[in-house]
Structure 1
Amino acid sequence: MVITERFAWAHLPKTAGDATAKMFAAVPGLVRYQAPLDSNEKHDGFWVHAEAIEGKLRVMNIRRLPSWILSIAHHKAISGIHPDYEPLPMASVEEMADDTDPDEVLRWTTGPEHPVERWLRAEHLATDVERLLRDVGVETDAARAAIASVPWIGNSYEHDVSRVFTAGQIGRMYERNPDWRKAELEAYGGIPAAPG
């Protein structure tokens, strides 16, 4: 969670959140509160800080659902999950296609009373962060330089979802996660065509 004078940003896991938090922290005078990046508190939902974020624009990152599902599966297999952080077996492609965790994580982070008002797309992160800062009156040369100074750090695994999932599996992901589908429609203006 990052709270500024004008907006509050919730860190949805596996959506370039650490990079986003670092971008915000690099902008002089922007951040009023930031949960430590090495703690699970960085993933606090809006509802945890309801009083502190009252009246602020609610912002969150998102990425395409198949990419998120693949990323979280690799993360669980390598690092495990809170609180034990013990590696878990890698989910099968069919298990990933049937997973409803994306909607559950999304609902937990936002809660029914704190819907996201502005999405930052992981695939267009620097551009979306710059636009957000411009729209809240913080666009400066220093802010642009701060955003540009944050390197992208990714993990090495097959990121091309068309090599991992079939069109039918991707279709099932969106059917089983209607809230995520709705969020993508808001953030991207559409759902990508499935491969094949």
Structure 2
Amino acid sequence: MELALRDLLKDRPAVKFDDIDDLTGHWHHTIAERQAADPSFDPTGKRVFACIRRLPSWIMSMVVFEATRNKHLVATREMIVRGQCFDGTYVNRADDYIDLFNVDVHHWIRTEYLAADVAKAFDLQQDDVAEALLRYRSNVTPPYIKNTEFWFTDDDLGTLYANNPLWASVEDRVYGGHAPISLRQSLVDPVDAVRATEQRGV
């Protein structure tokens, strides 16, 4: 999405992108971390955007991504149902991540409706966004089964959200709920989301 936005917004003089490098890492910081590292950084008056996806989809993406980076760090079934995953050699919980970014967010961009939400947030044409997202697609993780019912029973979903109440509360606000019936969908990646958005006419 970052590459797509660099392209789509390149003619807007008010938009400034951070340089991506392996030294500062500031492009990967939360707002608080950025301010701590650079006191001159002032987010006052700026709109804050944050991406989100349904928790079952997010946890499986993280599990597969980390297992791809290190085949010895594969989350157990018990970890997955609790919303836990490896991050390097650490074990973190889904709520640990969303807690970092759930601060004064003005616009949540849902992965499941990626093209539509990006277009609305940045006042762009949805077709242009969809084309750019597909053009700059990234294959960071290998293919895996993306069906919620393959990974989680209704009881599993209840355990997953009970162990991550902050994520549950954000989903309730952004999606209008997190009941199991609303989660019986494919675990989408950005390309799936673009195509699904086009098919639904969102």
TM-score of the aligned structures, taking structure 1 as reference length: 0.71
2:96 maps to which of 74, 99, 104: 104
Give matches, 1:43-192, under 5 Å.
Answer: 43-50=28-35, 51-79=41-69, 86-99=70-83, 101-110=93-102, 114-134=103-123, 139=124, 145=128, 147-151=130-134, 152-154=137-139, 155-192=142-179
Quote the offset at 1:37 in angstroms. 7.8
| 1:12 matched residue in structure 2 | none
- Check if 1:21 corresponds to 2:13: no
Number of residues paired by the alignment?
161
Residues 26 and 147 of structure 1 are in contact (CA less than 8 Å); yes or no, is this contact kept in structure 2?
A: no
| 2:194 matched residue in structure 1 | none
Alpha-carbon distance between aligned partners in 1 of 2:129 and 2:110, rounded to the nearest angstrom = 18
Which consecutive residues of structure 1, in runs of 5 or more, have no partner in the other structure? 1-19, 80-85
Rg: which structure is higher? 2
Quote the offset at 1:147 in angstroms. 5.0
User: Can you list the C-alpha shifts for 1:96-115, whole angstroms capped at 9, x where unaligned?
Assistant: 111351110111234xxx33
Aligned CA-pair RMSD: 2.5
Quote the offset at 1:179 in angstroms. 0.9
Alpha-carbon distance between aligned partners in 1 of 2:21 and 2:160, rounded to the nearest angstrom = 29
Alpha-carbon distance between aligned partners in 2 of 1:161 and 1:38, rounded to the nearest angstrom = 35
Quote the offset at 1:192 in angstroms. 4.0
User: Can you list the C-alpha shifts for 1:105-163, whole angstroms capped at 9, x where unaligned?
Assistant: 111234xxx332210000110110000112xxxx3x6x853552221445400111211
Alpha-carbon distance between aligned partners in 1 of 2:48 and 2:61, rounded to the nearest angstrom = 24
Alpha-carbon distance between aligned partners in 1 of 2:116 and 2:21, rounded to the nearest angstrom = 22
Quote the offset at 1:34 in angstroms. 2.7
User: Can you list the C-alpha shifts for 1:56-106, whole angstroms capped at 9, x where unaligned?
Assistant: 111101000011111101111111xxxxxx444321222111135111011
CA 146–131 in structure 1, closer or farther in 2 if over 3 Å, else same: closer
Residues 58 and 116 of structure 1 are in contact (CA less than 8 Å); yes or no, is this contact kept in structure 2?
A: yes
Quote the offset at 1:54 in angstroms. 1.9
TM-score of the aligned structures, taking structure 2 as reference length: 0.69
SS at match of 1:120: strand
CA 64–55 in structure 1, closer or farther in 2 if over 3 Å, else same: same
CA 23–52 in structure 1, closer or farther in 2 if over 3 Å, else same: farther
Alpha-carbon distance between aligned partners in 1 of 2:22 and 2:113, rounded to the nearest angstrom = 24
Residues 61 and 121 of structure 1 are in contact (CA less than 8 Å); yes or no, is this contact kept in structure 2?
A: yes
Alpha-carbon distance between aligned partners in 1 of 2:58 and 2:19, rounded to the nearest angstrom = 22
Which consecutive residues of structure 2, in runs of 5 or more, have no partner in the other structure? 36-40, 85-92, 185-202
